[in-house]
Amino acid sequence: MKKNLVVAIDGPAGAGKSTVAQLAAKELGYTYIDTGAMYRAVAWKTLQQGKPVTDELILSVVPDIDVDLQYTEGKTRVFVDGREVTGEIRTPEINKIVSQVARLGPVREKMVDLQRRMGERGAVLMDGRDIATHVLPNADVKIFLTASIEERARRRCKELQEKGYDVDIEGIKADIAARDKADSEREISPLIRAEDAVLLDTTGLGIEEVVAKILGMCR
């Protein structure tokens, strides 16, 4: 196996990218770069302003934001301007605005610049919506990870219930379908499968099975 591969995993919301990417990175001894967390970090800083969320407000926090991902003790910790926000960026409030944050050109330019710098180190596994197509087009391994909307909604419900949130599966299905539409139709770096990416449909597969398939592709 070639060491220090650059691995890119794309796919829609709720497909389980971050869960399997973290486990695969751990197995490979690679740094896991959660690009979604970087956009969530921008969303978090936007909400900290305590004002109605507009494109202008989002863009006002971008120029001097410092988003740093540190891999310690087998997990990626997220920092904004030196403060750890790993847990705080996973709330329904952030979920609601993260697509709006991610579709803005200046936000993506800033994040992509940071992501490419991390990618240059090698031995990284990065997941998101446009990693193989735009951020790391020269990645050694490219995977497009997906699952049915029903399966993704079921997983998201379970995750939120375990955190103590009240959930409505039909509402979550509608949210996921809306995010798919927004992510696929946005002008800048839409969610599409790279021509040379391997399609991996995880509907009906357990986490271990998916991780094993990813490791197989890397070896």
- Kindly report the CATH number assigned to the domain that includes residue 199: 3.40.50.300
The total number of structural domains in the chain stands at: 1
C-alpha distances (whole Å) from 112 to each of 70, 105, 116, 216 are 17, 10, 6, 28
pLDDT of residue 114: 85
Domain with 105 in it? 6-218
Task: Please provide the average confidence, as pLDDT, over all residues in the chain.
Answer: 92
**131 within some domain:** yes
**62 within some domain:** yes
pLDDT category of residue 36 using cuts at 50, 70 and 90: confident
pLDDT of residue 40: 97
Can you tell me the distance from the alpha carbon of 175 to that of 200, in angstroms, rounded to the nearest whole number?
A: 23
Q: Tell me the range of 2-11, 71-80, 191-200 where mean pLDDT is highest.
A: 191-200
Q: What is the pLDDT of residues 133-190, one digit of tens each?
A: 999 999 999 999 999 999 999 998 998 999 899 989 999 999 999 999 998 998 888 8
To the nearest whole percent, how much of the chain has pLDDT over 90?
72
**214 within some domain:** yes
pLDDT category of residue 105 using cuts at 50, 70 and 90: very high
pLDDT of residue 2: 57
Residue 1 has pLDDT above 60, yes or no: no
Among 142, 135, 106, 129, residue whose Cα is nearest residue 181: 129
pLDDT of residue 71: 76
pTM of the model: 0.78
Would you state the structure tokens that stand for residue 69, as one six-digit string? 């991902």
**1 within some domain:** no
